[in-house]
Each structure stands twice: as C-alpha cells, then as structure tokens.
Structure 1
Amino acid sequence: MKSTIKRVSLAGVILLLAQSTIYAQFSLVGQVRTRTELRNGLGNLAPKNAPAAFFTSQRTRLTFGYKWDRVQFQTSIQDVRVWGQDASTINNADGNRLMVHEAWAEVTLANSADTTIKFKPIQNLSLKIGRQELVYDDVRLLGNLDWLQQGRRFDAALLKGQHMGWALDLGVGFNQNTDAFGTVGDNYTPGNVAALALSNKNVSLTIPAGFIPTAGKSGAPVLATPLSTNGQNQQFKSFQMAYLTHKFNQTKFSALFFKDDFQKYRTDSLGSAAAGYVYGRRYDVAGTNSRLTYGAMLTGQLGNTSSKLGKVQWQAFAYGQGGKDRDGLNIKKAYHYGGNIMFQKGLLSVGPGYEVLSGNDATTIQSGETSRFDPLYGTPHRHWGYMDYFYVGTGSPAGGLKDAFLKFKYANTRLTTTFDIHYFALAAPTYNKMTDAPVGALLSNKLGMEYDFVANYALNKFTNLEFGYSVMNGTNSLEYAKQGTMGEKNHIGTWSYLMINIRPDFLAAKPANK
C-alpha cells in the first residue's frame, strides 16, 4: 500500500514539474450539466388531466486530449443519469451509466508547412479513427445531438483533406455485435434487446441472439434503449460518406453524400402453443437495404452590425433521398429544402424562415413505397421546435412537415435571449381514418403553433445558466398524426427547464491580477 502511495505521489510531482509542457500538449476539460424540467406535453400531446412530469437529469463528462505535430488524441468519458433513479447504495449487479463517449486518434499524413513530411500533392491530409462525433454544417443531418444528455457518437474512420481552400472528408463505419469465437457471417442485430420478453400469454421467454421482439405481429420493435432520433427502429449496419466544402468570400458552399446500409430481416416468432408466442424480426437474412442522401447548402453574410442595414445572414439548402429505407421500402421522391434569413442591428436580430420535409401523399402512395424524408443523424431539437414533436425519438407524421418560423434574438456580453415562433403543417395529404370520419376524408394540414423562449446567462468563464419555456398549441391533426387518436389529448403542451452547465478547463492558466 505504501509503495503504491509513493508511486502516485511521484507521478503527481512529475506532473507538477512538467506543468509548462503539459499545458502546451495536453487538455483536460470537465463538465457537469444539470437540467431540471417540468414536462406537460413534450414530444407528444399529453392525455387530458394528466399530471406534469418533473425531474432533474445530469451529464458528467471528462474529456482528455493530446496534440503533437502529427498526432491528435482525444477520449471523453461520461456518466448520464436522472437524479434519484439509482438507489443510494448499489451492488455489483446494478451496474452504472458510465460510458466512453469519444475515443479517437488523428494522424497527420500530409502537411505542406512541415518540411519533414515528403508527401506534398495535397496541403493537408489526416486520418481520424475511433469513436468520434460527426458534426457538419448546422447539424441538420449530421450532428452530435448535444442537447440530449447522452449525445451521439459514431465508430468510424474519417480521411480529411484540405487543398487550395477546399476541404473533403471521406468517412466509413461498419457495425457488428460481437467478435466472439464461433461467430460466422456478418449479420448485424441493430438494437439493444432485453434478455426476456412476455409472450401473448404473459409467459417470460428468453430472447435469442439475432432476434428483436415487436409489439404484436407487425408492430414496432421493442428495444431496451431507444436508438436515435426520428423514432428509428434500427441502427445502421454500415455507412459511407463524402462531405465537400469551400468558402467563396463570405459565402460557404457545402455538399453531402451519405449512404447508410441497414441489415435485412424477416418476420418470425418464438415460443409454443402452451407458453404463447413472442413476435419479432430475425436478422439472419443476407444483404442490406441501402439508403442514399445527397444535397447541398449555401450560407452567407452581407454587411456588418454597424452598417446602415446591419448584418444579414442567410441560408438555403436542398437534399434528396433514394434507395431503400431501413424496412426495405422503396424511397420515391423524398426531399428536404428550405431557407432562412436573419437581420442583425446592434444587439438585436430578427428573421423568418421556411422548411419542408416530404411525406407520404396518402392519395397516391403505393404499397412498398415511401416518400418520407429522414433527416439522418442530426440534431432535430435545434431546428423543428424545442419541444421535440418532430423527427426525434417519438417519430414524425407520415405526411411530412412544413415549418414556417420567425426568430428573435438579443445578445450582449453575458446575456442571450431568443424567442421563436413556429407554424407547423403537414407537407402531404393524410387520410382521417377515425371510425366516425367519412370515407376518403383528409386531415386538416395545420398541426399547431409552437412558442419557444430561452435565456442564457454566462455566470463566469466556465459556468452558464439557461432557462427555457415553451408552449405547443396543437390540433386534432397533430394528435392523430402522432398518436392515432382525436379528442383524447390535451392540445396545449407546456415545458420549462433550468439548466446549469459547468465546464471547467483544468489546465487553463489563471489570468494575472491587474
């Protein structure tokens, strides 16, 4: 025990003696982020007379980084939990929520400024490999989902090149469940499943590898943990991507090609007549369903805050999807486009925007087809209302989405406040199939209005306080499109939160006293 203490003490002394070198090469950043929420209609309209939910969640994260001339390394470890969800004491069987969020290394292959590297055809080239965040543009299609306490990361390899002002990223990922001896083939079970499931006779049955239970014969998969945004029912098997960008004066151009492949499956069941059956999907079918997403974005700026008209920031984008979706449906004419503009004068900003995500036209869609655009692995919370009604874990309307919005912002040195107004509507005709509706009746396309207010105050260099309050004024169409009922939910949803974000940089030098 004494020798261990001596070794730890010696290591501490060495670290202190090498402090100046450590500051130059290492980074160590912590984060404690608590968010206290009052939910009464977040994500979906709440049942009538249902009590509001109230809780506090916390993310604790420690990020360690190292940088040398030709190598960068970073690992991020985090713990995510809701206050009180664990007993005050735990045993070994309880486990915890500690996980590796990031663990990657980036190796420089070419650098025109480094005379010791002989490879010169490209100015900068590097390979980044390991568990990492993919963050591009405005995190519309690829993002780290940082609003969610768990965040999002990918196990991937990324080849990054820069030359003459152009930047190109080429990425690949390939997922597998196990590397155990005896494993054959590369079929992938794309979800976390509980060890047991109840049969239709309420008997617990063991779930074998390669099988995901569903809610009934044709229901949604029953997973131990949600997979991602937009109510996804399976994780991709593999992906390949290319991202190209260049800045022309004050206008940035970017283009994205993203192909994700989903393991094919067949419907099956397990159990017996005596014990009952568990229905589900068996992932033992060779091959994948491949989906292609492609498009471009332009962002620009005119003037500055002191000019006569102020600073004008604008954005326009258009994307399409083709191939097959995760369930093998043929994707037909799926698209996402939009634009927005923001006028800033002094500390105030205001601007409108409009976006469309395609959906299924109930009057023309054929069996085996879909026209629903899926915004991939982005951060929906940032774009389609802070109350997370669309393209998050609760899914999205089959008829797609139109979003017309107006945003206001005030920002000074410490305080930033925003107020957003959204008008949501269906993008395609959707049948009303309630039993009391006439045959062929269509839903009204109006889904609702959402109002989002956020105030963020920088308490000090490492600490931010944020308060948010949102209201959803929904309609019968919203209730039906999201939950399949009418008149059973409270159409006024509210949500408020207080978030404290403490993010110290442990190796930052303290400013000298003046």
Structure 2
Amino acid sequence: MKLLKTISFSVLGLISASTYAQEFNADIQIRPRYEYTNGFGTLLTPTTEHTSFIGQRSRVNLNYGDSKLKVKVALQNLRTWGDRNTIPKSDVNGVAIYEGWAQYSFTDKWSTKIGRQVLSYDNQRILGGLDWANQGRSHDAALITYKDSKNQLDLGFVLNADNENKVAPSTPYNTDHKNMQYAWYHTNANKVGLSFLAMNVGRDYLKAPAEIETNYNQTLGTYITYKGKKVALDFSFYGQTGKIGTNKVSAYNASANATFALSSKVKATLGYEFLSGKDQNDLSTDVKSFNPLFGTNHAFNGFMDYFYVGNHAGSVGLQDVSLKLDFPIKKVNLSLTPHLFYAPNKVFAGPVEKDAYLGTEVDLTAAYKLYKDVVVVAGYSQMFGSSTMETLKGGIAGTTNNWAWVMVNINPQIFSSKK
C-alpha cells in the first residue's frame, strides 16, 4: 500500500506543472473461483472422472486522466491454487500487462487510443472482453473514435508479429491473426439502438515451402436493440466471407431475444440463436461454419462451454433455444436458464444420419452482495446430452455431466486523488 501511494504521488508530482485538472485512482481485484468439473466442455468418457480446482486472478488497475489525456495500466497475476509450492523462487505466470493504453482527445468529439486494450462492443458476440476467463482478452491495437451525444464511430487497426524480426519470417504468424481492421458505428434513436460492424481479419498460411501468404476474411453485420418499459428486444445478424488459407468462407449467424418484465423484479427472456455449419458428409473445402472470432463466447450457448469456447470450430453449427428467468429471493439474485441445442446440419454415425437434437443444458446462477466491494457468485449447470451429442463429441450422454462453481469478487478502490 505504501509503495503504491509513493508511485501515485510521484506520478502526480511529475505532471503537477500542467494547468489541466488531473485525476488519478487505483483499484485492486482479487477473484478466486472454485470449480467442480464433471463433464464440462464435453461429455465424460469411461476413462475420465471429475476434478476440482481453484483459479485466481489478482489485478491492479491504475488510471490517470485530465481533460485531454487518459492513461490506464492494468497488471495481473493468474494462478491455480497449488501450482507452486509454499516456498517458490518464482511464479508460474508472473505479472503480465492486461491493459496498457493511452487515449488523447484532439477535440471534444475526436480521440485516439493506442496500446494494449479491451475491444468490447454490443453484446460481445464478435468482440468482447471475456471477463469470465481469469486472463480476460485484450488486443494490441490503435483506435480512432468519433463520439457525440447520439453517435459513435470506432476505427480499429491491429498489426501483430511474433517478435521484432529485421527480416521476413520463414514460418506463419502463430497466434490469432496477423492483422485486423474494423469499423463499428452505433447510433441511438429514442428507444432504439443500432450498430453496424465491418471487420477484416488477415491470417498467415504456408502457401509453399518458405512462402508465406496472408489471406483475409470479412465479418459484416448489425446489432439492433429496443428498450421499452416492459419489453426489451435485440436482434443481430452477421455474415462472413473471404478466405482462410486457400478455402473460401461463406457463413452466417443470426440471433433474437425478447425480454419481458413480469413484475418490478422478475424478468423472462426468450432467445434463439443460429450459427451456420457444415454437413459431416460435405466434402467441399469451403468454410461454412460461423466463427464468433473474439467474442465472450462463455456468455452464449450455455455456461458449460460445449460450443465455441476453444471447440466446435468448423463443425455442424448450432441452434440454441433458451428461456432465461431472472428473479430475486431476498438479497440473492437468481438466474435460471434452460437451453435446447440442435444441429442445423447433418451428423452421421457411420452411414446413418442422426437426429438433430443434441441435448438440453440447465444453468442456475446466484449472486449476493456481501459488502460494498465484495460480491459472491455461485452456479450449477447440468448437461443432458443425446446420442447425437455422443456421436458429435464422444463420451457418454447417459452419465451425469455437470459443473458447479463459487466465485468471490473483491474489488476495492484503494487510492483516489484529484488536482
């Protein structure tokens, strides 16, 4: 604490000669989460058993701002309890930069933001912060933003490299993408919010020995919301085209949700999402399976992460029908969501085509504010898989496949100063 205050006052001292109003604050997040996994992500097999562990995020956020300049540095350490002994000489993950960016305002409407930053838009289906994962998701990017009272336009640019090579590398860039450009526009009109996204992503591939080429695929779409007193609606549609390697891309995603206020405290949300896929007997090289790219995929299609969380890419797609109920019991906020999953494309067990029904998942979460800076959240989920799910993912649907977790989020502000 003394060290942090010393750093804070030193920073303020360096900028004290400025005539701008200045603000500096710091907060800490300690977030341990216990998980019991028993068929999480995929069905249990005869040789797999349940396990449990505790993962923890420890993060420090440092924020500076004046009328023209904003700067943020977020440092974090990730650990699994017990991954080091009680007298370690080093840490497995050490301390990493989660965010490190600066934003400068040219005028009251135009600004630019450069550095490691979270890119999060709309419902986070395509670009999201992935806060559920302890590591989160952030990008090395440059942004140009226009913003007024009703409109916002973001132009984003990403250029990635493995290291500071002085000559062209002989192998493809080995992470998400080589470069990315996107434009996101949002406007509000009365109770309606309207967003448009156009994104171009370049990925390296080995065209021939020692010959690397970058091909591009595009994601184009819209997200629309309506917020009334008792009814809220949202709709999205995204299409994907271009190339991944030498393969043509033709895929799409559509979703719709309707939320009804049944009382002042109880809400019900009926939802449907379609993600295109590919028949298992389709021998074409075209990419027909939609990819949610950099979204917060844990928030969609069930919390047990059977779909699109490091899996199900290039597969038969998905239809998800859900009904979410939000209601309080005393000081505990509860959410209950059953999902019905279907494959929109053909699944085969040998020559036999399987039924489209994949299974039903039920998610229950409970949140309780223990203290002004302490929130306890817990959840239980169970997957009732079908024989088609067995064919698609392996494992045994007839066993009990479930997941339970408890997370404590401690997030106090520890320092704040204005000059």
TM-score, normalised on structure 1? 0.75
Partner of 2:375: 464
Which of 398, 402, 406 is the equivalent residue of 1:498?
406
Larger radius of gyration: 1
Specify which structure has the higher proportion of strand: 2
Structure 1 residue 91 displacement after superposition? 3.4
Q: 1:82 to 1:350 in 2, by over 3 A?
A: same
Partner of 2:155: 170
Structure 1 residue 427 displacement after superposition? 1.3
Q: 1:91 to 1:168 in 2, by over 3 A?
A: same
Tell me the amino acid that sits aligned with residue 353 of structure 1.
G
Which of 56, 80, 84 is the equivalent residue of 2:78?
80
5+ residue gaps, structure 1, are 1-6, 112-123, 192-233, 268-281, 304-310, 434-438, 510-514
Partner of 1:451: 362
CA distance in 1, matches of 2:349, 2:369: 48
Count of residue correspondences: 410
Q: 1:385 to 1:239 in 2, by over 3 A?
A: same
CA distance in 2, matches of 1:317, 1:342: 15
Deviates more, 1:446-455 or 1:24-33: 24-33
Partner of 2:168: 185
CA distance in 1, matches of 2:215, 2:39: 35
Partner of 1:290: 216
Q: Is the 8 A contact 2:24 2:416 kept in 1?
A: no
Deviations 1:407-428 (A, max 9, x none): 1001489531100010001011
Partner of 2:240: 321
Q: Is the 8 A contact 1:349 1:410 kept in 2?
A: yes
Which of 102, 105, 109 is the equivalent residue of 1:105?
102
Structure 1 residue 235 displacement after superposition? 1.3
Q: Secondary structure at the match of 2:414?
A: coil
Tell me the amino acid that sits aligned with residue 223 of structure 2.
M
Partner of 2:253: 336
Structure 1 residue 297 displacement after superposition? 0.9
Tell me the amino acid that sits aligned with residue 479 of structure 1.
E
CA distance in 2, matches of 1:299, 1:147: 24
Q: 1:448 to 1:97 in 2, by over 3 A?
A: farther
Structure 1 residue 189 displacement after superposition? 4.2
Tell me the amino acid that sits aligned with residue 264 of structure 2.
G
CA distance in 2, matches of 1:148, 1:84: 19
Q: Is the 8 A contact 1:177 1:188 kept in 2?
A: no
Which of 179, 189, 208 is the equivalent residue of 1:238?
179
Partner of 2:231: 312
Deviations 1:362-390 (A, max 9, x none): 45x44321210001100111111000110
Partner of 2:391: 480
Structure 1 residue 11 displacement after superposition? 4.7
Q: Secondary structure at the match of 1:398?
A: coil
Name the % identity.
30
CA distance in 2, matches of 1:102, 1:73: 10
Partner of 2:41: 43
Q: Is the 8 A contact 2:384 2:397 kept in 1?
A: no
Deviations 1:42-94 (A, max 9, x none): 001111374311110000000101001100000100001100011222336x6
Partner of 1:218: none
5+ residue gaps, structure 2, are none
Which of 190, 213, 217 is the equivalent residue of 1:249?
190
Partner of 2:290: 373
Q: Is the 8 A contact 1:176 1:186 kept in 2?
A: no
Q: 1:63 to 1:187 in 2, by over 3 A?
A: farther
Tell me the amino acid that sits aligned with residue 320 of structure 1.
G
Q: Secondary structure at the match of 1:79?
A: strand
Q: Is the 8 A contact 2:278 2:314 kept in 1?
A: no
Partner of 1:347: 265
CA distance in 1, matches of 2:326, 2:221: 29
Tell me the amino acid that sits aligned with residue 124 of structure 2.
V
Q: Is the 8 A contact 1:177 1:189 kept in 2?
A: no
**Any runs of at least 4 consecutive aligned residues in structure 1 with deviations exceeding 4 A, and if so which?**
7-15, 186-189, 411-414, 487-491
Structure 1 residue 492 displacement after superposition? 3.2
Q: Secondary structure at the match of 1:370?
A: coil
Q: Secondary structure at the match of 2:78?
A: strand
Q: Is the 8 A contact 1:45 1:490 kept in 2?
A: no
Partner of 1:130: 115
> What aligned pairs does 1:23-62 form with structure 2 within 5 A after superposition?
25-48=23-46, 50-62=48-60
Structure 1 residue 96 displacement after superposition? 3.2
Q: Is the 8 A contact 1:410 1:417 kept in 2?
A: yes
Tell me the amino acid that sits aligned with residue 257 of structure 1.
A
Q: Is the 8 A contact 2:290 2:317 kept in 1?
A: yes
Deviations 1:144-186 (A, max 9, x none): 1000011101000010112462210000101001115xx3126
Q: 1:8 to 1:472 in 2, by over 3 A?
A: closer
CA distance in 1, matches of 2:278, 2:171: 29
Tell me the amino acid that sits aligned with residue 101 of structure 2.
W
Structure 1 residue 143 displacement after superposition? 0.3
Structure 1 residue 480 displacement after superposition? 2.1
Q: Is the 8 A contact 1:44 1:394 kept in 2?
A: no
Deviations 1:248-301 (A, max 9, x none): 10110001011111011258xxxxxxxxxxxxxx7x433212110000011111
Deviates more, 1:99-108 or 1:404-413: 404-413
Partner of 2:323: 406
Tell me the amino acid that sits aligned with residue 505 of structure 1.
Q
Partner of 2:274: 356
CA distance in 1, matches of 2:314, 2:213: 29
Q: 1:129 to 1:12 in 2, by over 3 A?
A: closer
Q: Is the 8 A contact 1:47 1:490 kept in 2?
A: no
Q: Whose relative contact order is higher, 1 or 2, with alpha carbons under 8 Å and at least 6 apart?
A: 2
Q: Secondary structure at the match of 2:391?
A: helix
Structure 2 residue 143 is matched with structure 1 residue 158: yes
